[in-house]
Structure 1
Amino acid sequence: MGFKRVVVTGLGALTPIGNSVPDYWNALINGVSGAAMIKSFDTEKFKTKFACEVKNFDADGFLGRKDARKLDPFVQYALYSTEEAVKDAGVDFEKLDTNRIGVIWGSGIGGLKTFLDEVVAFAKGDGTPRFNPFFIPKMIADIAPGHISIKYGLRGPNFTTVSACASSNNSLIDSFNYIRLGRANMFITGGSEAIINEAGIGGFNAMHALSVRNDDPATASRPFDLDRDGFVAGEGAGTIILEELEHAKARGAKIYAEMVGGGMSADAYHMTAPHPEGAGAALVMKAALNDAGLTPADIDYVNVHGTSTPIGDPQEIKAITDVFGEDIYRINISSTKSMTGHLLGAAGAVEAIASILALNHGMIPPTINHFTDDPSFDPKINFTFNQAQKRDVKIVQSNGFGFGGHNASVIFKKYEG
């Protein structure tokens, strides 16, 4: 018995550069930066004072004030992007077997804001444990898919993948595998993250991971630029509806793309640093290609992890060079984190959406904020610097790598009946 085919039938996005898929895509191809001075808390004593925050998001208006107070922002974001994806997919769950529809969701950290608020309130008190009864169910990383399943009455597989910045790529791969093995008909999958608060920014500052370009936030995320100095924190959510092909056709769904492969690997090297030769990154890209039955010659565009860190970017290019050989000069490479910042556990989903839209629109989003060539990179590599490029894109690969040495890579292709 062969694998079933898996297609994308719905998309939803809440990002620092757009609160819907059309707005997100328009900002991407126009090279819009989502970075600005942080508004959600006082940054006076912080080394980094800027981030890529979600803008004009009204949780009370979307959920109602009472319900919004019961949910951490990372869950609010998940529900918001999922509502768009469900509408986009034209799904009427009352007409479908909801026992065979699941939710697999990625988040690297979960309810950090909830944890911060509750622990700070306790520390300021007299030692009496007056914790909010919603503290634990607001905070735990698995609660987002729980709320999605409750809202839509979905009783299929339901869990969270936690692998740092590879989390939502892992959620896509797990969903893909359940469907192609015939164990489910459809998944709501993706990821969300909300770490732009005192603990998130302070913690990453303590690691010296964030850019400190406070004088020019809009250009701070500079993947592959000589003067890159760290990543820019982002927040938001991305939702993708994955569906078994015949199930999608039976209900007359529109099809954005076909998911054809996914790979996973570990660096087995260091708690936070990538392998110096990009060994794990190369392994995961090869694994995804092998899973899809493809070769490097089949790929047109790689949406790279590309975080704008001094050590991370070179290792990924070493890995891509190892995997693609001479084909590296034929493909487009770009890092959409140059615009959205790094959404951590949500990055894979948001970047998979960018990759799928590149297939549909024949346009490669740029790597913005490139000012100075890094002499360690081959100048013949097409990083798609500063301006979107038209291209007939048939197959895309999207990478995600996380602290702990977690690597996950996904591949989508144009749908052919």
Structure 2
Amino acid sequence: MKNRERVVVTGLGAVTGLGMGWKSLWSGLCNGHSAIRPWRPDGVDDFPVKYAAPVDMADLAQRYGQAAWWEAPMEKRTRFGLAAALEALADAGLVPAELPLRSGIAMGSGVPERDPADMHLALGPNGPDWRLLHQRAAELNPNSGLLNSNDHLSMSLAQVLGINGPNLNFSTACAGATHAIGHGMRMIRRGECDLMIVGGADSVLNLPTMIGLHLLGAPSTAERFGDRLCRPFDRDRSGFVAAEGAGVLILEREAHAQRRGAQIYAEIAGFGSGMDAYRISAPHPEGLGARLAMQRALRDARLDPADVGHINAHGTSTPLNDPAETLAISTTFANGDHYRRLSVTANKSMLGHLIAAAGAPECIATVLSVADGIVPPTLNLENPDPSCYLDYVPGSARRQALRAALSNSFGFGGLNAVIAVKAYD
């Protein structure tokens, strides 16, 4: 196989319920802090979903409220993504005006945020009348999804940062950000760009979207465990806990990063995707698509399964995902029972589920695990499910030297994506 240039990570940025910046993310994960707290949609006291992991908007506004872009109409997810991108660029020692010409953007984002008040504008004395909505268009919330498209995040990043290169937006459910990172890496590898701003941002913490998720039976409505509700791989898990936020990575061609003296965290070495083709809201019970994605990421990274020491699991705390992912991992790493030697962690036990953006902060955590030799814990794993039999690093972080690790993202509809991360020597 011919040699190919490595793609390396030189900047990290995050906005999550654990705080602003990747250092808050990493410190929170390693110390077992949870962003999950009581939550309710605005104006609704009896919504069945009682817990979520929201971003502190006051903190975000304090940091960026004076920026010119902050005044532009945009959804929360776009604000999150812009803040995380600017954090990542600063971490990489770059400013927007000095970005190389051969730069591009690849982002994962989900359904545009909806404001229920916008729909009320269509109500007339005899019921819905959509002509009224057109007549009252000036009254629409400019930050609502009715006036924003799915690609608003990647488009806004390009406008604010002045990037005229390739611009991709992935709307592939919970695998969106991971697809964006993988395709961004491949664009650099193919020679299309020297630098890619990749990741994702999302916010589902609004009434219309949460109603849809609740009708699918995805988020937990339990109250028994309070803010310890997200329990990946535990017998008492009952559904995911919704969250919001963003994660952004700066990827560069190795020679480009070296030439400017950039700090290099790790190498994004491989990407794989696979499709369950099974059901919209349930994974293949044998983890077929997840297994294919992991195998393809390993092959793309030129890694033997025995080279991998750690997996950042999708780990949603749902009854169906966790055993299916466990089976997919144990099958992929069956040779020599290597799956017994893997550390497997579920960041969602602390972060909640950022849906389309989930893979971005989780990939950042995987990069930092490889770079720092630390594996964050899986919280709330107190009553292990017999069908979930891997080493999930329960309770507290662990020191572990890593040569390589995988970051898994498995989305609704059976959309699966995996990133392979290698230590950078």
Unaligned runs of 5+ in 1: none
In the alignment, is the contact (CA less than 8 A) between 1:43 and 1:49 conserved in 2? no
Change (3 A) 1:89 1:197: same
* Among 120, 132, 137, the residue aligned to 1:131: 137
* Among 192, 203, 222, the residue aligned to 1:194: 203
Q: Secondary structure at the match of 1:9?
A: strand
- In structure 2, C-alpha distance between the alignment counterparts of 1:96 and 1:190, rounded to whole Å: 17
Q: Secondary structure at the match of 1:404?
A: helix
After superposition, residues 2-401 of structure 1 pair within 5 angstroms as: 2-38=3-39, 41-58=42-59, 60-61=61-62, 62-64=64-66, 67-68=70-71, 70-98=73-101, 100-109=102-111, 111-114=112-115, 116-123=116-123, 127=129, 128=132, 129=134, 130-132=136-138, 134=142, 138-325=147-334, 326-378=337-389, 381-401=390-410
- In structure 2, C-alpha distance between the alignment counterparts of 1:205 and 1:195, rounded to whole Å: 11
Once the two structures are TM-superposed, the CA of residue 113 in structure 1 deviates from its matched residue by: 3.2
Unaligned runs of 5+ in 2: none
Once the two structures are TM-superposed, the CA of residue 91 in structure 1 deviates from its matched residue by: 1.1
Once the two structures are TM-superposed, the CA of residue 95 in structure 1 deviates from its matched residue by: 4.1
Q: Secondary structure at the match of 1:112?
A: coil
Change (3 A) 1:211 1:96: closer
Amino acid at match of 1:107: S
- In structure 2, C-alpha distance between the alignment counterparts of 1:175 and 1:353, rounded to whole Å: 15
Query: TM-score under structure 2 normalisation?
Result: 0.92
Amino acid at match of 1:104: A
- In structure 2, C-alpha distance between the alignment counterparts of 1:413 and 1:231, rounded to whole Å: 29
Amino acid at match of 1:362: G
- In structure 2, C-alpha distance between the alignment counterparts of 1:124 and 1:2, rounded to whole Å: 66
Change (3 A) 1:159 1:119: farther
Task: Report the aligned-residue RMSD.
Answer: 2.0
- In structure 2, C-alpha distance between the alignment counterparts of 1:66 and 1:243, rounded to whole Å: 26
Change (3 A) 1:138 1:256: farther
Q: Deviation digits for residues 12-40 of structure 1, max 9, x if unmatched?
A: 00011122111111110111111111155
Once the two structures are TM-superposed, the CA of residue 138 in structure 1 deviates from its matched residue by: 4.8
Once the two structures are TM-superposed, the CA of residue 340 in structure 1 deviates from its matched residue by: 0.4
Once the two structures are TM-superposed, the CA of residue 402 in structure 1 deviates from its matched residue by: 0.6
- In structure 2, C-alpha distance between the alignment counterparts of 1:338 and 1:232, rounded to whole Å: 9
Once the two structures are TM-superposed, the CA of residue 202 in structure 1 deviates from its matched residue by: 1.7
- In structure 1, C-alpha distance between the alignment counterparts of 2:278 and 2:253, rounded to whole Å: 37
Change (3 A) 1:30 1:96: closer
- In structure 1, C-alpha distance between the alignment counterparts of 2:8 and 2:76, rounded to whole Å: 29
Equivalent pairs counted in the alignment come to 411
- In structure 2, C-alpha distance between the alignment counterparts of 1:78 and 1:124, rounded to whole Å: 37
Amino acid at match of 1:370: L
Once the two structures are TM-superposed, the CA of residue 406 in structure 1 deviates from its matched residue by: 0.5
- In structure 1, C-alpha distance between the alignment counterparts of 2:150 and 2:344, rounded to whole Å: 32
Once the two structures are TM-superposed, the CA of residue 211 in structure 1 deviates from its matched residue by: 1.0
Amino acid at match of 1:122: A
- In structure 2, C-alpha distance between the alignment counterparts of 1:388 and 1:174, rounded to whole Å: 31
Percent identity of equivalent pairs: 36
Once the two structures are TM-superposed, the CA of residue 131 in structure 1 deviates from its matched residue by: 2.1
In the alignment, is the contact (CA less than 8 A) between 1:399 and 1:408 conserved in 2? yes
Once the two structures are TM-superposed, the CA of residue 137 in structure 1 deviates from its matched residue by: 8.1
Comparing 60-69 and 230-239, the one that deviates more: 60-69
Amino acid at match of 2:114: K
- In structure 1, C-alpha distance between the alignment counterparts of 2:330 and 2:218, rounded to whole Å: 25
- In structure 2, C-alpha distance between the alignment counterparts of 1:56 and 1:364, rounded to whole Å: 29
In the alignment, is the contact (CA less than 8 A) between 1:257 and 1:413 conserved in 2? yes
Change (3 A) 1:229 1:414: same
Amino acid at match of 1:213: A
Amino acid at match of 1:314: P
Once the two structures are TM-superposed, the CA of residue 120 in structure 1 deviates from its matched residue by: 3.7
In the alignment, is the contact (CA less than 8 A) between 2:307 and 2:404 conserved in 1? yes
In the alignment, is the contact (CA less than 8 A) between 1:12 and 1:20 conserved in 2? yes
- In structure 1, C-alpha distance between the alignment counterparts of 2:90 and 2:156, rounded to whole Å: 17
